[in-house]
Amino acid sequence: MQNNGWDNFEIGAMLRSFDGAVSDIATTLQEDRPYSKSNSFTASVADWRIEKPIFNKDYCIDCQFCWIYCPDISIISRDKKMVGVDYDHCKGCGICVEVCPTNPKSLLMFAEQEDEDKALAGWPEKEKKEN
Amino acid sequence: MADKQELREVEVWDGNMAASQAMRQVQIDVVAAYPITPSTPIVENYGNFLANGYVDGEFIMVESEHAAMSGCIGASAAGGRVATATSSQGFALMVETLYQASGMRLPIILNVVNRALAAPLNVNGDHSDMYLGRDSGWIQFDAYNPQNAYDLNFIAFRVAEDHEIRLPAMVHQDGFLTSHTAQGVKTLDDDTAYSFVGDFKPMNDMLDLDHPVTHGVQTEEDWHFEHKARQHHDLMTKVFPRIEAAFDAFEKLTGRRYNIVETYNTEGADAVVVCMGTSVETAVEVSNELRGEGKKVGVIGIRVLRPWPHAQIAEALKGIKAIGALDRSSPNGTFGMLYNELAGTVVNGGENKVLTNYVYGLGGRDLTKVHLREIYAELLANAEAGKPTTPLQQLIGVRGPQISFH
């Protein structure tokens, strides 16, 4: 697409989502979809982010709240098991952290430059109920 | 399946009924419309056809003309044959969406019953709304009478929906003078009319679920210019050959001949007026009378306003010494559009022509035969002198002292 002149792209301010025909796309996993180059899935918006969510699987109960609430389909879940965060499309809004119900939370926001191993090593302890 | 109507060979229709009958006969999938004088009867008649089982498509009643064209754009992108109608203030409200329709290359047909633009509020015919649409990227056909309004709808659908073209088209007719004046209209039977336009062939339609598309994308300085260049290129190079082919096929079918530029009495003419709409017919009558008096005067009628028929008009004006550009829209601070376009067309032709501008008929003010005789007399004097003998721009038919400029 980058090399196209005015005379060799399709008319109509129109972009194709996929290369060629697709069928049953709703049940096809993202990694198996034939996304076209012009599909926004192929673009990274990682640099929009100031803070990023880091996932700690030790506390996750696979409730899928983060997957449901994520506005950018950036929580990767397979067979109802939380896998991780799609850092190409996550914009760092923090909603996944907000809705995480575990104690301590299984997702927490860190500075974009934070090292993941360091973040996991310093994960907070379970909070005691105050009576 | 829609019921068919048996039409007489000649029906007595006004321009509005002619347009709505053509819309019925091509079996439109979606009409989204909001009524406005004087185009209201087009969608009113069409709604009547639909309610009585003569149309299979959908009629969407919306809250404004902006919504009407937006609904048409959605339906067209979804993959249907789409049309609507409007006038004047409604057209003005549609303008934003007109550019969307053409940029998205959606072959919507818009019947525009030409009417003045407020203020002051006025429901009668002039060409202000037609002029307002001239940079919107649509094809613009101009009807001079109800027969034209009927015929040009079929031409418009056939050209616009061609996959090489995929551009929306307007069919213009004069408010009241054409839209509400009943005349004999030669009809096509339903099957013949439908097959002239043919089945709608979708392209990049959103309802093709195996090939999902995003319509109406955003492009900034990186790609916007290429899209606009492509659209302009297609308007400049592809549209006229398809219109010619459609006119030829239509003549073969009906015997009625249309031309991108209509010429009357131009053979050996010294002076011509260039005009649009019902004024063409009045001017033809006057030029016939003057020819009978030995005066070499003719008429050029613009049949297709956009794309601008530069080459065809240059050819038609060859050897003609004086041209009167008749503009039925207030230029509001410059020359009339036809004057400016014609100036651009003749300036490099190498012939010395005298071009003057007449602004007439605003808000439905009559253009009389007496006016045209006066105009022709001035144009013949210009032709004789080889230079303007009058001011370059004159307003005709206005009360009070004569208004002219330059």
Q: Which domains does chain B have, with CATH numbers?
A: 10-254 (3.40.50.970), 261-405 (3.40.50.920)
Question: Chain B closest CA to A90's CA: distance in Å?
Answer: 21
3-state secondary structure of B380: helix
Contacts of A23 in chain B (CB under 8 A): 210
The first and second tokens of residue A78, run together, are: 């397979």
Q: What part of B 266-325 touches A (C-beta under 8 Å)?
A: none
Give Cβ neighbours of residue B155 (< 8 Å, ≥ 6 apart): B141, B243, B246, B247, B250, B258
Confidence of residue B121 (pLDDT cuts 50, 70, 90): very high
Q: Please, what sign has the CA dihedral across residues B316, B318, B324, B325?
A: positive
A33 and A74 assigned to the same domain: no
- Mean pLDDT score, B308-327: 98
pLDDT of residue A2: 59
- ipTM surpasses cut 0.85: no
In terms of DSSP bridges, do strands A51-55 and A14-16 run parallel, antiparallel, or are they unpaired? unpaired
Count the alpha carbons within 13 Å of A31 in the hemisphere toward its beta carbon.
Answer: 5
A87 domain-assigned? yes
Residue A6 falls inside a structural domain? no
Q: In the structure, what pLDDT confidence band is assigned to residue B25 with cuts at 50, 70 and 90?
A: very high
Q: How confident is the model over B322-340, as a mean pLDDT?
A: 98
A43 touches chain B (CB under 8 A): no
**Of the candidates B50, B1, B55, B52, the residue with the CA atom closest to the CA atom of residue B27:** B55
B219/A14 Cβ within 8 A: no
Question: pLDDT by residue (tens digit) across A47-102?
Answer: 999 999 999 999 999 999 999 999 999 999 999 999 999 999 999 999 999 999 99
pLDDT of res. A131? 65
CB B324 within 8 A of CB B358: yes
- What mean pLDDT do residues B84-108 have? 98
Residues A26 and A90 both lie in one domain: no
Summarize the confidence of residues B356-379 as an average pLDDT: 98
| Cα B218 from Cα B112, distance rounded (Å) | 29
Whether residue A78 sits in one domain with residue A19: no
Residue A22 and residue A61 in one domain: no
Pairing of strands B297-302, B304-306: unpaired
Distances (CA, A) of A61 to A57, A83, A100, A103: 8, 12, 10, 10
Please give the average per-residue pLDDT across A94-111, as a whole number.
97
Cβ separation B214–A5 shorter than 8 A = no
Same structural domain, A30 and A55:
no
> Rg of chain A's alpha carbons, rounded to an integer?
19
Question: CA B151, CA A62: separation in Å to the nearest integer?
Answer: 66
Containing domain of residue A23, as a range? 15-44
Strand B139-142 and strand B304-306: the pairing is: antiparallel
**pTM of this structure:** 0.92
Residues of chain B contacting A24 with CB distance shorter than 8 Å = none
Please, which pLDDT band fits residue A37 given cuts at 50, 70 and 90? confident
- Rounded average pLDDT over B323-327: 98
State the Cα–Cα distance between residues B396 and B401, nearest whole angstrom: 11
Beta bridge partner(s), residue B274 = B300, B325
For residue A38, the model assigns a pLDDT of 84
